[in-house]
Amino acid sequence: MFINVTVLNHLNKIKINKDLILDKITHNFFTKKNYLNSLKCKDSTVYNFNDYKQMRIPIITVVGRSNVGKSTLINRITKSNKDGSIVHDSEGVTKDIIQRKAFWKNYEFLMTDTGGFSINYNKKNEIYKNMTKQIFSSIEKSSLIIFVLDFFSQITQDEIELAEYLKFQEIPVILVVNKCENINIFNENSKIFWSLGFGEPIPISAIHGINTGELLEKIVSYLPNSKKLSESYTTKVSIIGKPNVGKSTFVNKLLGQYRSIVSDTPGTTSDSVDSYISGGKNCNVYNFIDTAGIKRKKSIEFGIEYFMVNRTLKSVQKSECVLFMIDINNGITDQDVKISDIIVKENKCCVILLNKWDKIKKKMSKQTLIDLCKTSLSKLSWAEIIFTSALNGENCKSVFDLIDSALTQYSKYVSTSILNEIIQEAVKWKRPSSKSQNNGKIFYCTQVSERPPTIAIFVNDPEYFNETYKSYVENYFRTCLKFDGSPIKILWTKRK
CATH number at residue 426: 3.30.300.20
pLDDT for residue 45 is more than 50: no
Cβ atoms within 10 Å, residue 175: 20
Specify the pLDDT at position 229: 45
The sign of the CA dihedral 410, 413, 416, 422 is negative
Specify the pLDDT at position 89: 46
Mean per-residue pLDDT over the chain, rounded: 78
Q: How far apart are CA 43 and CA 167, in angstroms?
A: 37
Q: Is residue 79 part of a domain?
A: yes
Of 222, 249, 282, at which residue does a domain stop?
A: 222
Specify the pLDDT at position 10: 44
Q: How far apart are CA 337 and CA 209, in angstroms?
A: 43
Phi-psi region of 365 (alpha: psi -120 to 50; beta: other; left: phi over 0): beta
Of 410, 441, 468, at which residue does a domain stop?
A: 410
* Strand-pair partners of 454: 449, 489
Q: How far apart are CA 253 and CA 454, in angstroms?
A: 36
Q: Is residue 271 part of a domain?
A: yes
Is residue 167 domain-shared with residue 296, that is, in the same domain? Answer: no
Helix axis angle, 304-318 to 334-346, nearest 10°: 50
Q: Is residue 474 part of a domain?
A: yes
Tell me which residue range forms the domain holding 382: 235-410
Is residue 426 domain-shared with residue 455, that is, in the same domain? Answer: yes
% of the chain with per-residue pLDDT over 90: 39
Specify the pLDDT at position 424: 94
Is the distance from CB of 489 to CB of 454 less than 8 angstroms?
A: yes
Q: Is residue 33 part of a domain?
A: no
Of 346, 377, 410, at which residue does a domain stop?
A: 410
Give per-residue pLDDT as tens, 310-339. 778 888 998 999 999 999 999 999 999 999
Q: Closest Cα partner for 341 from 304, 305, 376, 371?
A: 376
Q: How far apart are the first and last CA of the chain?
A: 82
Is the distance from CB of 240 to CB of 54 less than 8 angstroms?
A: no
pLDDT for residue 25 is more than 90: no
Give per-residue pLDDT as tens, 347-371. 999 999 999 998 888 888 999 999 9
Q: Is residue 11 part of a domain?
A: no
Helix axis angle, 5-14 to 157-167, nearest 10°: 70
The mean pLDDT value for 147-166 works out to 90
Lowest mean pLDDT among 25-29, 184-188, 217-221, 304-308: 25-29
DSSP 232: G
Q: Going by DSSP bridges, is the β-strand pair 284-290/234-240 parallel, antiparallel, or unpaired? A: parallel
Specify the pLDDT at position 168: 83
Is residue 287 domain-shared with residue 380, that is, in the same domain? Answer: yes
Is residue 176 domain-shared with residue 257, that is, in the same domain? Answer: no
- What confidence category does residue 55 fall into, taking pLDDT thresholds of 50, 70 and 90? very low
Is residue 324 domain-shared with residue 434, that is, in the same domain? Answer: no
The mean pLDDT value for 373-382 works out to 93
Is the distance from CB of 457 to CB of 432 less than 8 angstroms?
A: no
pTM, 2 dp? 0.60
- What confidence category does residue 16 fall into, taking pLDDT thresholds of 50, 70 and 90? very low
Using alpha carbons, list the distances in angstroms from residue 239 to 80, 98, 355, 376, 399. Answer: 21, 16, 12, 20, 12
Dump strand ranges (E) for 291-336: 321-327
Higher pLDDT, 93 or 351: 351
* Strand-pair partners of 273: 290
Give per-residue pLDDT as tens, 168-212. 888 899 999 999 988 888 888 888 899 898 989 999 999 998 999
Lowest mean pLDDT among 34-38, 109-113, 471-475: 34-38
Is residue 149 domain-shared with residue 275, that is, in the same domain? Answer: no
Q: Is residue 1 part of a domain?
A: no
Is residue 199 domain-shared with residue 337, that is, in the same domain? Answer: no
Give per-residue pLDDT as tens, 202-245. 999 999 989 999 999 999 998 865 444 444 467 899 999 998 89
Is residue 395 domain-shared with residue 268, that is, in the same domain? Answer: yes
The sign of the CA dihedral 204, 209, 213, 216 is positive
Is residue 70 domain-shared with residue 207, that is, in the same domain? Answer: yes
Residues 6 or more apart whose CB falls under 8 angstroms from that of 162 comprise 63, 64, 65, 117, 119, 147
Q: Is residue 48 part of a domain?
A: no
Burial environment of residue 188 by CB neighbours within 10 A (0 to 12, 13 to 18, 19 or more): exposed
Specify the pLDDT at position 307: 63
3-state secondary structure 172-227: CEEEEEECCCCHHHHHHCCHHHHCCCCCCCEECECCCCECHHHHHHHHHCCCCCCC
Specify the pLDDT at position 44: 34
CATH of residue 184's domain is 3.40.50.300
SS3 482: coil
SS3 302: coil
- What confidence category does residue 301 fall into, taking pLDDT thresholds of 50, 70 and 90? low
Q: How far apart are CA 168 and CA 159, in angstroms?
A: 15
* Strand-pair partners of 410: none
The mean pLDDT value for 476-488 works out to 92
Q: How far apart are CA 325 and CA 307, in angstroms?
A: 21
Q: How many domains does the chain have?
A: 3
Is residue 59 domain-shared with residue 196, that is, in the same domain? Answer: yes
Is residue 362 domain-shared with residue 423, that is, in the same domain? Answer: no
Cα 463 to chain centroid distance, Å, stands at 42
- What confidence category does residue 46 fall into, taking pLDDT thresholds of 50, 70 and 90? very low
Is residue 207 domain-shared with residue 321, that is, in the same domain? Answer: no
The mean pLDDT value for 266-270 works out to 46
Is the distance from CB of 355 to CB of 374 less than 8 angstroms?
A: no
Specify the pLDDT at position 56: 54
Is the distance from CB of 431 to CB of 441 less than 8 angstroms?
A: no
Lowest mean pLDDT among 144-148, 261-265, 278-282, 425-429: 261-265
Specify the pLDDT at position 435: 57
Cβ atoms within 10 Å, residue 401: 16
Q: Is residue 31 part of a domain?
A: no
Cα 34 to chain centroid distance, Å, stands at 25
